[in-house]
Structure 1
Amino acid sequence: MLATLFDISWFYYGIEDFKIISLINFIIKIISFLCILFFIKNTDDLWLYFLIQSISILISNISLWLFLKKYIRWIRPSIKKSLKHFKPALKYFIGKISISLYTNLNKTLLGILVSSIAVGLYSSSLQLITIFVTLIGTMDTVLMPHMTKLFSNNNYKKMIQTMEKTIDLQFFMSVPLMFGILAINRQMIPWFFGSDFMLLNKTVPIFSPLVIIMPLGISIVRQYLIPRNRIREFNISVIISAIISVLLNILLLPVLGIYGSIISTLIAECVVTLIRLVDLKKHTDFQFNVRNIIFYFLCSLIMYFIVLFFTKHMPSEIFTTILQGILGIFVYFILTAIFKVNVVIKLKNKEW
């Protein structure tokens, strides 16, 4: 909570200065990762793990204040002028509360109606997926201030063209990631999570479509709804999804256990993305590159079977996972190049 008080990353996002944020976060995360490796020895060190995590966030946020001097002039703030931002900020707050409701209440209900073990399995499955979702979503964070600038300059056509390209790039990455998770899951879970988490071999594949669904919904928010100040539409999508998620959890958890919570999460995320997509299509001339997306799925499916064929008898260890990842990237890159849908090559040749 103290770290959040000092968080001014939004300022650097607004002025499109991502170098400072990226550099500080990279350094702090490396240091915290090394601290975890050196100081966390057993379950008794859980408090120390929490301490390292929270202090690293606090230091990261405070560090950003050191670079403010060259950007702003310090003045005494007026309470009256500050309060005028309260109402617009409250609109964002409603959406954030709704997101917290349907993402965190799942775990609470799962713990109450099933068990704390189920909460651990559910959280670990979702956390693995979230890593890849965050990786893909980084592009949207960078683009949000740029899209806002385009909107303020009434350059709607350029705005939509940028969205079409970035979402196509997103599919280029998210589709093979989904199939990649399916390919490496069986051999990665034992060495990465341990023998107590073997059920993840069943839960992670069910969660894997979220790698495609969630980034798409996030992109629409960050590149379209927020830059165009359509906060009402954003709030409607998350409130409806929150209601659906809670109701489905109450209905499915007693019958299906952890799988009921997984199904509820999948449906809620599909609904929130669908609502945003309908709004986007209704008010703009946005178009998906359907041909490219079909080939992304085709190439990813072929990649999946090739990785599975060559590595299915290999042991569960980090070397196997690394080899599977390298093989998958190589096969996918070659196949998309053959079908002439490789975005990386197009960027290099300035064709995209």
Structure 2
Amino acid sequence: MMEMIQKTIHFQLYFTIAIMFGIILLNDKIVNWFFGSNFSEIKNILPLLAPVIVTQSFQMSVATQYLIPKNEMKEYNISVLIGAAITVMTTVLTIPFIGVYGAVIGINLGYFVVSILRLKMLLRDTNFRIEYTNVLRWIFSGTVMLSIGIIVTKNMTSSLLTTSIQVLLGGFIYLSLTSLLDASPLMDMLRKSK
């Protein structure tokens, strides 16, 4: 069971880290043609919310694969309440000063704390281990993907074509780099299937 949890959580991290950087890359060009120019303020908000994709997916994965099947409902509920309390307190304290960015901080902080709490529960009760080396390689690959994607598409107009180029280019760079760095779960699956 734990071997499967280990694989699925890291597989999920591999993709959510890529999606996080992908959203930051697409953000500037996708908003105008997809939402319209009236929603240009979203350009400042989406990149700040992107980390939620990683933390929200991670904490839910721990809950659905470990806490709930093991009937650890007390721990599950405590983490939910603490996360909610932190989100509410942070937003109430910051929104009057920085507006919507206070809500962004609150949401990020709430999900981050829930992720840490659930990770601590998993580490405390099992032999689960985070593959920090691979996580750092995925973040590095995402950063390179983002940087190259921005440089290549910087002068392109906001359009479906530009977004498509960013998706294809970003996906190619991320998959290639993680494979070269020997940090691709997809390549591991292919090797084992042969």
TM-score for the superposition, normalised by structure 1: 0.53
CA displacement, residues 108-161 of structure 1 (integer Å, 9 cap, x when unaligned): xxxxxxxxxxxxxxxxxxxxxxxxxxxxxxxxxxxxxxxxxxxxxxxxxxx111
Task: Indicate the residue corresponding to 1:147 in structure 2.
Answer: none
2: CA distance, partners of 1:267 / 1:290: 21
Task: State how far apart, in whole Å, the 2-side matches of 1:343 and 1:272 are.
Answer: 26
Q: Partners of 1:347 and 1:326 in 2: how far apart?
A: 22
Task: Name 1:321's counterpart in structure 2.
Answer: 163
What fraction of aligned residue pairs are identical, expressed as a percent? 33
Considering Cα pairs closer than 8 Å and 6+ residues apart, tell me whether 1 or 2 has the greater RCO: 2
Residue of structure 2 in register with 1:31 after alignment: none
Cα deviation for residue 239 of structure 1 reads 1.0
Which of 50, 75, 78 is matched with 1:236 structurally? 78
Question: Given the alignment, which residue of 92, 98, 107 partners 1:265?
Answer: 107
Kindly report the root-mean-square deviation, in angstroms, between the aligned alpha carbons of the 2 structures.
1.1
**Match among 207, 210, 221 for residue 63 of structure 2:** 221
Aligned to 1:330: 172
Separation in structure 1 between the aligned mates of residue 115 and residue 65 of structure 2, nearest angstrom: 14
* 1:189 match: 31
SS in 1 for 2:183: coil
For residue 249 of structure 1, report the CA deviation from its aligned partner. 2.0
State the secondary structure of the residue aligned to 1:349: helix
1:285 alignment partner in structure 2 = 127
Amino acid corresponding to residue 176 of structure 2 in structure 1: I
Superposition deviation, residue 188 in structure 1 = 0.5
Aligned to 1:81: none
Q: Work out whether 1:347 is the aligned partner of 2:189.
A: yes
Which residue is equivalent to 1:248?
90
The CA distance in 1 between the partners of 2:81 and 2:177, in whole Å, is: 41
* Cα distance in 1 for residues equivalent to 2:144 and 2:178: 11
Residue 301 in structure 1 maps to residue 143 in structure 2 = yes
Q: Name the aligned partner's letter for residue 323 of structure 1.
A: I
2:42 equivalent to 1:200: yes
Deviations along 1:44-87, whole A, 9 cap, x unmatched? xxxxxxxxxxxxxxxxxxxxxxxxxxxxxxxxxxxxxxxxxxxx
- State the shift of 1:347 in Å: 0.7
Number of residues paired by the alignment? Answer: 193
State the SS of the aligned residue for 2:16.
helix
Question: Mind listing any 5+ residue stretches in structure 1 that lack a counterpart?
Answer: 1-158
Secondary structure at 1:314 match in 2: coil
Structure 2: where are the runs of 5+ without partners?
Answer: none
1:191 Cα deviation (Å)? 0.7
Q: Structure 2 CA distance, aligned partners of 1:254 and 1:225?
A: 37
Give the letter for the 1:264 counterpart: G
Q: How does 1:153-168 map to 2 (within 5 A)?
A: 159-168=1-10
Q: 1:225 & 1:271 partners in 2: Cα distance?
A: 16
Partner amino acid, structure 1, of 2:164: I
Deviation at 1:281, TM superposition (A): 1.0
Offset, 1:309: 1.2
Residue equivalent to 1:101:
none
Task: Give how far 1:246 is off.
Answer: 1.8
Deviations 1:183-223 (A, max 9, x none): 11000011111111101110001101111111110110001
Structure 1 residues 64-79: aligned runs within 5 Å: none
Q: Find the residue that maps to 2:175 and give its secondary structure.
A: helix
Q: Write the letter of the residue equivalent to 1:203.
A: I
SS at match of 1:285: coil
**Counterpart amino acid of residue 126 in structure 2:** T
